Structure 1
Amino acid sequence: MSEAGTVLVVGMGYVGRALAQALDQEGVAWSGWRRQKSEHPRVRSVDLDAEQLDADVAGARRIVYLAPPPKSGDGDPRLRRFLARLEADPPERFVYASTTGVYGNQHGAEVTEDAPLLAASPRALRRLDAERALVEAATRWGTQWNILRLPGIYGPGRLREEAIRAGLQVPCPDVCPAGNRIHRDDIVAVIVRLLASGAPTGVFNLADAEHMSSTRFAMAVAQRIGVELPPCIPDLEAYYATHPGMASFLRERRRVDSSRVRRALNWTPRYDDAISGIDASLGDGTDRN
């Protein structure tokens, strides 16, 4: 990757740390922001909720924004404040990590980037606000932009092993709807490609081709770590009653199609099925979390 200018990664969490490692391997200069203090010399502690951002964005010609909106309230004031800070010196490219939750409930239909945005949950509505704010600003600036709509993210340390060992309850396979997920390393691979000179702009869905249900995913992990799950719950409403946190995810049914990004980048996920991603994640002894 030869394009000049430091990449600023806003949000050095699970994906951000892996992205930084990949950029190092590519020989790309980067700096990072995170809320917590970090010992890494290129990562700065920045409070995105502060009325005035106490951090310099000069020289960041490419920005990857991985920070989530606040957990309450309307819209995403964090991103809007950040965009306002960029007005005097807009970047050349801005990559924003959103969620497939902006599609809302599509009743099991296949969802492309052209599907109606039926976001209903407060979390998804905040993401939709962030998407619109970015597109408006980038259009005004003439900045190249990408919105990555991400489903469930998994990878090393993100297989719910602790919950599975503790006796995770799941709905029975015949009632659990299809799922959507993407491996952390496949997200990173796409972002690295989008940061290259000449990369396409626009909205891209990321998802593997399998759409394994959350139940079968948990069963596959349990089998590999030698754990027997409790008996499954045959009625979804009964499952929701005891696991209300899962209801908003499973009730919104859709099958995310990622053909557009595959064509645009001539790319195929390294882990295009969940089993290969699970096996690789369990076999990864590197502490990148």
Structure 2
Amino acid sequence: MTITAFVGLRRALPARFRRPRWLIIGCGDVGLRVQRLASSLTKSALRGRVYALTSSPERLPVLRAASITPLLGNLDQSSSLRRLAGLATHVLHLAPPPGQAADGGVLHHDPRTLALARSLRRGRLPQALVYASTSGVYGDCAGAWVAETRPVAPATARAQRRVHAETVLRRDLGRAGVRVSILRVPGIYAPDREGGTPRARLLRGTAVLQANEDVFTNHIHADDLAQACRLALWRGAAQRIYHASDNTELRMGDYFDLAADLYGLPRPPRWSRHQAQEQLPPLLWSFMGESRRLENRRLRQELRLSLRYPTVVQGLCSGGTV
């Protein structure tokens, strides 16, 4: 049979023989939740085969147990990514940028996403790619409501790396015809997620800002984020930004007070902004120094996501007794 005849035969096959091939980059807690959702789909033609890139041999049994085909590779070693070219029809990019440059210096770009984009361009391009970015790309918005059309203003190197990753994907893959969608994600929580509740912080007695200087914070339950990732792969528009955030409107101190009351723990102490900036670790302070409220209309109307946990009260109580 000639190659032309084979290609024509494949196109004529029933949909069940042309199922999508998913590739998850950075398949941790959220990636595994996405896989559980995908495997529960009633339309078998949408299930497809799921691959995941991992740099840890220890993760292989975990991924296989979740019905995922693991691929050993490292985003920091571009030569290990060659097998990704032409592999997947749909790519979910959940891997964070490196925390610092190879020489230990400050890093303002994301070499991992750049290496991934270059590898994908070597073969047949995927139909769609979804990237989980961060809401930190907006910087401090002084508590204003933030739409997806707001210009980015990253105030930290961590957020600048995310802006670079978004730009690379939209430029190098989006302009080449890949349907690239960006999810800008706030704080992820879930009672069944490691470090996914405020309990440990409350037990340490870490302070929050006093009420008149407090900042607005945004949240998404890990299960709702997984659903947003899945829906964006199928319904996300090309070059489109979505806020993967729930309906909660809380200041950070009120969030921790709420959690403390749910857990029966003491509420955290309240510090002035000056005191917090002087005494808290820089990374923690960077989260407390920015205030914004994310609009999620696109998430609800365009991706048609019905939030399972619309508020943090419902989400924090979802694991049973707190």
Q: Is the TM value for this pair above 0.5?
A: yes
- How far off is 1:180 after superposition? 1.0
Residue of structure 1 equivalent to 2:110 = 76
* Structure 1 residue 74, shift from structure 2 partner: 2.7
SS in 2 for 1:95: strand
- Given candidates 136, 139, 146, the residue that maps to 2:181 is 146
Contact 2:108 2:158 (8 Å CA) reproduced: no
1:35-79 residue CA offsets vs partner (Å, 9 max, x unmatched): 322113322332110131245224311000000011122311111
- Counterpart of 1:192? 230
AA aligned to 2:55 is R
Give the letter aligned to residue 112 of structure 1.
A
Partner of 1:178: 216
Structure 2 residues not aligned, in runs of 5+: 1-14, 101-106
Structure 1 residues 8 and 120, CA, compared in 2 at 3 Å: closer, same or farther?
same
Instruction: Write the distance in 2 (CA, Å) between the matches of 1:98 and 1:8.
Output: 17
Contact 1:151 1:182 in 2 (8 A): yes
Structure 2 counterpart of 1:100 = 135
- 1:153 deviates by 0.9
Match of 2:169 in 1: 134
Q: Give structure 1 regions of 4+ aligned residues with deviation exceeding 6 angstroms.
A: none
More helix by share: 2
Code of the aligned partner of 1:108: G
Determine the structure 2 residue equivalent to 1:4. 19
1:41-52 to 2 correspondence within 5 Å? 41=64, 42-52=69-79
Q: What does residue 104 of structure 2 align with? A: none
Distance 1:284 1:9, change over 3 A: farther
Cα distance in structure 2, aligned partners of 1:199 and 1:139: 13
In structure 1, the partner of 2:38 is 23
| 1:110 shift after superposition | 1.0
In structure 1, the gaps of 5 or more residues are: none
Q: Determine the C-alpha separation between the residues in 2 that align with 1:90 and 1:18.
A: 25
SS at match of 1:60: coil
Q: In structure 1, what residue type is equivalent to 2:116? A: F
How far apart, CA to CA, are the structure 1 residues paired with 2:272 and 2:284? 14
Distance in 2 between residues matched to 1:255 and 1:114, nearest whole Å: 14
Please, what is the CA RMSD of the aligned residues? 2.2
Residues 235-287 of structure 1, C-alpha deviations (whole Å, 9 max, x = no match):
1221222213322122222111111221112333222211111111x3299xx
TM-score by length of 2: 0.81
TM-score, normalization by structure 1: 0.90
Report percent identity of matched pairs.
Answer: 27
1:279 aligns to 2:307 (yes or no): no
Q: Is the 8 A contact 2:145 2:294 kept in 1?
A: yes
Deviation digits for residues 202-244 of structure 1 (CA, Å, limit 9, x no counterpart): 11112122222222222222222222235x2241221222213
**Rg: which structure is higher?**
2
* Greater mean alpha carbon deviation, residues 87-96 or residues 242-251: 242-251
Distance in 1 separating the partners of 2:156 and 2:198: 23
Paired residue secondary structure (1:195): helix
Q: CA deviation at 1:14?
A: 2.2
Tell me the CA shift for residue 160 of structure 1: 2.8
The one-letter amino acid of 2:263's match is I
Equivalent in 245, 267, 270 of residue 233 of structure 1: 270
Separation in structure 2 between the aligned mates of residue 54 and residue 144 of structure 1, nearest angstrom: 21
Instruction: Tell me how far apart the structure 1 counterparts of residues 220 and 150 of structure 2 sit (CA, whole Å).
Output: 19
Which deviations, in whole Å up to 9, do the C-alpha atoms of 1:131-177 show, x marking residues without a partner?
01000122332111100001111112301322222333323344321
- Letter paired with 1:17: L
Contact kept? 1:169, 1:229, Cα under 8 Å = no
Aligned match for 2:260, one of 209, 216, 222: 222
Q: Which has the higher contact order (CA 8 A, sep 6+)?
A: 1
